[in-house]
Structure 1
């Protein structure tokens, strides 16, 4: 039987104590699923704008802007997710602050196009600050409710608030200096959790966290399925390229299904059994997520090339597809597969990433990519993940808990 919720205060608020990282049956809440919906919008717009930038031949500017914009999307999602796994109370104030963050994501999405077309980051930065200030309020609330992580929560709140002042000051800088400052502020943002957790590690639920990452991956892979559908739609209207467009649609579906299979093959919850592993898992996922979003943009670029609406060459368009796939494969191998696979799998997956990266140098790049990924799936089916014991997670003080009689083992 799950433990009863703590009593609510006179304001109908539940004390924000750290949740049990071994809580049975923990899964994504309805609020978290609702939260993800706004990221569907933001990711879609970022992918569309990257597609337009690549098609028009603005490759470097497009990639840089995409990387900066996607950081805002990913960092807002990731910070909420890790906070929720530790302190989700689902009372009215928690919900209101979460909805404020959702509104900020929608405003950020509205500012993505000006960022790509005019290098104007004003709206994305302002909306980002709103989202982060909502997180400051959440951390301050946690610091008041749970003495065991009070200092950690205060460092989070103070660090995030201070950086938001710097983001607002960044808006006053000239273009070149402003872009350099953007990168520096990103580095400061990602350093805050590292600094804060030295004061005491907040607990996390491994199954809950990895389920949340899996759900976000599905959102991004859904963009690739949309690109596959768009290829069919274009084929209906452009009979001259009917055969190639249908082939692109079919191959995109196969590749997307293969990426899904590869991503969910390893036991992700075993990859975050320490704070160091959780940092690797959380941060490297930026490249996995960004690559998944860029893959759908690359497919759209391929469609434009086939229909004569792109400034890119066939070779460049092919790299727009294969580079994201290679990054996705390398990233997921590094953070989730390599520690739970036998030597053959650990050789095949990185090799597949290298081969996919070089596919544009042959006449049928997308076809060969699909074949390579299918062969990887065959290897994964024949070589299931290697079983290994999972060490206990740290509690809120960062100490490893001692096993107790009757504790259910986690697989």
Structure 2
């Protein structure tokens, strides 16, 4: 943490953090910030589950993809900013709390987005969060250092895109869909453009710890699905055996996903700006897949108890596809560059086998077996030393 003396307003100058600062870990404020995303992720997964259960697969995927983008992008922007410029004065805390409030309001707007395609609440809350980030970037731009241009481009880019997020609410049909895609592309382009003027000093160990903590939040949703399977089993004698099996298999698969994700030394994957962009953006699919996995578990429970419009094979795909995406994404950004030939053969092969699971009568049994074999290989082939 910066040791600069506070000003007369009891504010600490927001100077760039040391990217090699020893012992840098997630702060209590960052952990508190993550807690509100538990709410948003849980509601998004629940709404996705209900949409899939009703058989509206395409609508569910589109709405989930858009909703999760707003959650992921708000979280990621704050996380990367904090690793480079975090202070601990009252204004930094207040602006962080504003963003947290925006997340809670966004969570309240997820239901209408799925049920009616009404994104007004979500967009307004998203804009509030992003404007709070503008204030943070402007604070960082007040220092006479080489990053002044970078921080101002971030601020200007965010303001520009927020204006158009509000304007797109007046559109409908194809024009609205096109506007959403353009705005998402514009948001993703802001860091790429801004960092050309000077690269912000991210802390490799700190930033990858933050990603790991968010991954734990999402995997925790899957454990909730495992518990729900047991709860349903206690109230359904007919499907007692299959539901208990789903609960056990869910725990095994979730543990395997955790093992695969935390096997490689993630901090090595962001050694350059290009790699950090790749690492951050691929995590959209990893995180979204983890959230979708928990929704798929609930769909599987509905299929076993006769409460879904989906057939058994389609219900199984709602589980196996997210698992495959999660494993593939993790392999691409963190495992593949540092693993040996055996690991780099076993992991993608496992992804293919997981996608074959729905042809079996037992829900994702093959997936649990395959992932267990992957973990066995990872145990026999230790990852590179994470302290390097």
Alignment TM class, shorter chain as reference:
over 0.9
* CA offset digits 1:275-317 (Å, max 9, x no partner): 0110010000000000000000000000000001000000100
Residue 71 of structure 1 and its aligned partner are, at CA, apart by: 0.1
Report runs of 4+ in structure 1 exceeding 3 Å deviation: none
Residues 85-122 of structure 1, C-alpha deviations (whole Å, 9 max, x = no match): 00000110000000000000000000001000100111
**C-alpha separation between the residues in 2 aligned to 1:26 and 1:126?**
34
Counterpart Cα distance in 2 of 1:102 and 1:214: 20
Quote the residue 2:343 is aligned against.
Answer: 345
Q: How does 1:329-368 map to 2 (within 5 A)?
A: 329-368=327-366
- SS for the counterpart of 1:148 is coil
Rounded to whole Å, the distance in 2 between the matches of 1:195 and 1:227 is 40
> What is residue 216 of structure 2 aligned with on the other side?
218
Name the counterpart of 1:394: none
Which 5+ residue runs of structure 1 have no aligned equivalent?
Answer: 389-409
Q: Report the TM-score when normalising by structure 1.
A: 0.93
* 1:61 alignment counterpart: 59
Per mean C-alpha deviation after superposition, the further-off stretch among 354-363 and 233-242 is 354-363
1:196-345 alignment to 2 at 5 Å?
Answer: 196-345=194-343
Between 97-106 and 146-155, the greater mean CA deviation after superposition: 146-155
Distance 2:346 2:2 in 1: 48
Distance 2:12 2:364 in 1: 53
User: Equivalent residue for 1:117?
Assistant: 115
1:81 to 75, 79, 82: 79
1:160 matches 2:120: no
Deviation at 1:365, TM superposition (A): 4.4
Cα distance change of structure 1 residues 352 and 109 upon mapping to structure 2, 3 Å threshold: same
1:221-268: per-residue Cα shift (whole Å, max 9, x none)?
000000000000000111111000000000000000000000000000
User: CA offset at residue 180 of structure 1?
Assistant: 2.1
1:146 to partner: Cα distance: 4.7
What is the CA-CA distance between 1:358 and the residue it aligns to?
1.5
Task: Point out where structure 2 has 5 or more consecutive residues left out of the alignment.
Answer: none
Q: How does 1:53-202 map to 2 (within 5 A)?
A: 53-202=51-200
Indicate how the Cα distance of structure 1 residues 285 and 146 shifts in structure 2: closer, same or farther if over 3 A, else same. Answer: farther
**Aligned residue number for residue 374 of structure 2:** 376
The SS at the match of 1:89 is coil
| RMSD of aligned Cα (Å) | 1.1
Residues 13 and 357 (structure 1), Cα distance of their counterparts in 2 relative to 1, 3 Å cut: same
**1:122-158 deviation digits (Å, cap 9, x = unpaired):** 1100000000000000001100025220000000000
* Residue number among 29, 35, 38 corresponding to 1:37 in the alignment: 35
CA contact (8 A) 1:8 1:14 kept: yes
TM-score of the superposed pair, with normalisation by structure 2: 0.98
Separation in 2 of the partners of 1:87 and 1:350? 38
After superposition, the C-alpha distances for 1:55-98 in whole angstroms (9 at most, x for unaligned) are: 00000000000000000000000000000000000110000000
Q: Which residue of 2 aligns with 1:14?
A: 12
Q: Match for residue 44 of structure 2?
A: 46
On the 8 A contact 1:156/1:193 being kept in 2, the answer is yes
| Counterpart Cα distance in 2 of 1:176 and 1:234 | 42
SS of the equivalent of 1:339 reads coil
Aligned length: 388
